[in-house]
Amino acid sequence: MRTIIVGCGRVGAGLAGQLARDGHEVTVLDQTTEAFRRLAPDFPGQALRGDGTDESVLRRAGAAGADWFLALTNGDNRNILAAQLASETFGIQYVLCKINDPVRAQAYATLGVHTIDRTMMMIDSIGRFMGRPAMPGAADVRRAAVQPVAAPVPPPGHGELPAAGPPAEGAEPPGPGDGRTGGR
């Protein structure tokens, strides 16, 4: 499983380590080499300095032929551009885009991009901690219910990906009780 992660922040670096341990061939991209300090010293994957919204950089990172692409920088718009490059230009099947602005997240989910929205995740987590009812789907990767193409089948054998697998067609989103991902 070839996986490209754009943005070596806490989430990107943490996920890179986990996925690499699972056996993914991981390439992490960031614009600063400083960011790679977050990777464990024994990180077996590749760390590449470069702009993840630049087609030639992505090509160098092996985007052609990658199975997973996770856009996890701090910039919503950079993630949106990177994610669409990944799916449209490189034809990567499983593309995830972090968008922290809920309005934009909703808009792009409607456009068929798999989005994850930290803002709603945290509002949901904190709300539940305070005894409020869970917000359905807030902690999940979202995409429009009406999808322009058939939903891809998640690749097998990597159970360590909470809610990251694109939902199978017709599958119910995981219940509120599963939404324990909103920690950060």
Partner 1 sequence: MDGLEGGDVFVIVVGGGRVGFYLTKELLAEGHELVLMEKDPRSAERLRDELGAVVVNRDGCEGTHLAEAGANRASIVAAVTGDDADNLVVCQMAKHHFDVPRTIARVNNPRNEILFRHLGVDEIISPTRMVLAAIEQDIPVHELLHLAQLEGGELELIEAQIADDSPAIGRRPADIELPEGCALFVLIRDDKAQSMRPDTVFQAGDKVIAVSRTECETDLHRQLIGAAHEIAGA
Q: Which of 54, 67, 152, 154 binds partner 1 (CB under 8 A)?
A: 54
SS3 26: strand
Stretch that binds partner 1, among 16-24, 101-109, 122-130, 174-182 (CB under 8 A): 101-109
Query: Of 94 and 108, which has the nearer Cβ to partner 1?
Result: 108
Q: Which of 75, 152, 162, 174 binds partner 1 (CB under 8 A)?
A: 75
Position 133, amino acid = P
DSSP state of 28: E
User: 156: Cβ–Cβ under 8 A, 6 or more apart, which residues?
Assistant: none
- The string of DSSP letters for 78-117 reads HHHHHHHIIIIIS--SEEEEE--SHHHHHHHHHTT-EEE-
Query: Of 77 and 147, which has the nearer Cβ to partner 1?
Result: 77
Stretch that binds partner 1, among 22-30, 77-85, 132-140, 160-168 (CB under 8 A): 77-85
Using CB under 8 A as the binding rule, whether residue 25 contacts partner 1 is answered as no
Query: Of 111 and 171, which has the nearer Cβ to partner 1?
Result: 111
Q: How far is CA 9 from CA 31, 74, 154, in A?
A: 11, 8, 25
Residues in contact with partner 1 by the rule CB under 8 A: 53-56, 59-60, 62, 64, 75-78, 80-81, 84-85, 88-89, 101, 103-104, 107-108, 110-111
